[in-house]
Amino acid sequence: MKKIHIIYNPQAGKNHRLDELALALLTRGMAVSIFPTEQKGDAEKEAHEQCNAQVMDALISFGGDGTLNEILNGVMRSDKRIPVAVFSAGTVNDFASFLEIPKEPDEFADMLLDWDVHPTDVGKINDRYFINVFSCGVVSTVAHKTDRQLKAVLGSLAYYLEGMREIATQGLAGRQIYLRSERYLYNGEYYLCLISNSSSIGGFSKMAPKASVNDGRLNCLMIKKAPMAEILDIITKLLAGKHITNEYVVYFETQKIRVETEDELDVDGEHFQSGPIDIEVMPGSFDMLYPMTE
């Protein structure tokens, strides 16, 4: 009998589906336990303890990208491993969407009947880890500035509305950034910088169109300071993933990169410490459960 431990965030936008998920797992012969988080850091601590105990066969992250980030850090701090699956219960679940993980409880439970464990790349940022994206610049901090009730009602649309508000209040004044990798060096003005593990960021499925979670590389996308006409061109091409062809967009793959900026930093939708940071990829270091794609 497979033993499944659900770590769930009661503040997640779709927490009403927790009972449906638990029932779907139970009816398929799995043993289920549930751990609700109460404050920031609880999911990380619980994941770490479960890894050390080695009683459970798998952990389920029931929440958004922030919940998954905490579980990732808890697992990575242990010298033992438990595979992790992600059930989309947050406002925007970029990483789960990228992996095409089933969103319905019954389909999700079916996936766990005969699961595939996939060694997955993660990013390391100083002494912390991220599963999806590091960001800085204009609208990069939208996720944690958006009203929680608005997110629950409007979903990803709430992020877009907050993003428009940020642009309206901040304007498009250029910010300073210093980037250095084995392939690229830049010191100048910019609007947005993303260092991503997957292609799905902020609800845009092709933001980093060449990204893969098992290629041993991270994707860096930076939008330099540009005229408004060029910004509009970039925006109109986002859905198709063609924005990287714009001359003001820098896009490349890297294994290590250093970032220096005075702007706020965001990791998987949460505030991160300020100051110079070093980012590197940790190839195949996180075991995940998701469907095998062709």
Q: What confidence score (pLDDT) does residue 50 get?
A: 97
Indicate the domain borders of the chain.
3-115, 130-284
Token pair, residue 288, equals 């995940």
Mean pLDDT is lowest, of 95-109, 139-153, 245-259, for 139-153
Give the burial class of 181: count Cβ atoms within 10 A of its Cβ; 0-12 exposed, 13-18 middle, 19 or more buried. buried
Q: What confidence score (pLDDT) does residue 231 get?
A: 86
Domain 3-115 has CATH 3.40.50.10330: yes
Q: What confidence score (pLDDT) does residue 95 get?
A: 86
Average pLDDT of the chain, as a whole number: 86
Average pLDDT over residues 183-188: 94
The model's confidence at residue 60, banded by pLDDT at 50, 70 and 90, is: very high
Mean pLDDT is lowest, of 57-61, 173-177, 182-186, 190-194, for 173-177
The pLDDT tens digits for 90-111 are 666 788 888 889 999 999 999 9
Annotated catalytic residues are: 270
DSSP string, the chain: --EEEEEE-TTSTTGGGHHHHHHHHHTTT-EEEEEE--STTHHHHHHHHHHHHT--SEEEEEE-HHHHHHHHHHHHTSSS---EEEEE-SS--HHHHHTT---SHHHHHHHHHT--EEEEEEEEETTEEESSEEEEETTTTHHHHS-HHHHHHHTHHHHHHHHHHHHHHHTT--EEEEEEESS-EEEEEEEEEEEESSS-BTTBTTSSTT--TTSS-EEEEEEES--HHHHHHHHHHTTTT-GGGSTTEEEEEESEEEEE-SS-EEETTEEE--S-EEEEEEEEEEEEE-PPP-
Q: What confidence score (pLDDT) does residue 166 get?
A: 53
CATH for 130-284 is: 2.60.200.40
Q: What confidence score (pLDDT) does residue 88 get?
A: 86
Q: What confidence score (pLDDT) does residue 160 get?
A: 42
